Amino acid sequence: MSFGDPNNPYGPPPQGQPGYPPQQPPAQPGYGYPQGAAPQQPPAYGYPQGQPAYPGYAGANMMPVQMPGLMKTARVLLFILAGLQILFGIITGFAVAAVQDVSNGVGTGDDTDTLAGLGFLVAGLLLALGALSIFLGVKFKNGGSGIRITTIVYASLMILGGIVNIVNGANGSATFGGLISLAMAGIILASMVNSQASTWFNRPRY
C-alpha cells in the first residue's frame, strides 16, 4: 500500500508513524488562560522570589554585633571586683562596729569616735564602689560612649590607688591588694581604649 511520495510538496501531509502518537502543535502563549492572565515568568536564576537582601546592602538585615572578647573579660573582672569590694566593705563595717563597742565598754568610746567614723566612711566607700562596678558591668551590653568614658576614669583611679597601696603597703596585705587591683584595673582600662571598644559602644541600636 502506497502512502504517497513524501517529497511531493503538493501531496497530502505524511501520516504519523505506526506506534507513535500524533504530535500536537505547540501551544500559543497565553493559550487556555484569560487575556492578561498568562502565567508569570519565573524569577531570574540566583535571586529567588522573596529572598531577603544580604548584609552590607541597602535594606539588608543587619547581623548582631558580638561583644569583643577583651571586653567580655573586663566585664567579668568588674563583677569579681564588685564582689570583693562589697565583701570587704561589709567586713570593714562590722569590724569598726565591734571595735567601737569594745571602746564604749571600757569608757574610751569618745576617743575612738573619729576613727570609727573614718572606718564607716571607708566601708561605705567600698560598698559604693562595688555598686558602681556592678552598674558598669551590666551597662556594657547596651551602654553608650558615656559608659566607656566612665569605665576609663574608674579604671584609671583604680590603677592610681593600686600604686599608692603598693608604695605604702610595706610588703603587707595592702601591697598584695594593690597588685591585684593594679592588674585588674589594667585589663579593664586596656579593653576600653582600643578601637573595638569604640566600635562597640558607638554601634547603632535599633
The rounded distance, in Å, linking the Cα atoms of 188 and 74 is 5
- Return the ∠ at Cα 114 (arms to 108 and 117), rounded to 5°: 115
- Using 50, 70 and 90 to split pLDDT, how confident is the model at 202? confident
For the chain, the C-alpha Rg in angstroms (whole number) is: 41
Question: What confidence score (pLDDT) does residue 101 get?
Answer: 82
Alpha-carbon span 131 to 83, nearest angstrom = 9
How far is it, in rounded angstroms, from Cα 26 to Cα 14?
Answer: 19
User: In this predicted model, what pLDDT tens digit does every residue of 16-58 receive, in sequence order?
Assistant: 555 555 555 555 554 554 555 545 555 544 444 544 443 443 4
Cell of 193: 581604649
pLDDT digits (tens, 9 = 90+) for 136-195: 999 998 888 899 999 999 999 999 988 988 888 666 677 787 888 889 999 999 999 988
Helix 145-168, helix 173-192: angle, nearest 10: 160
d(CA 61, CA 57): 9
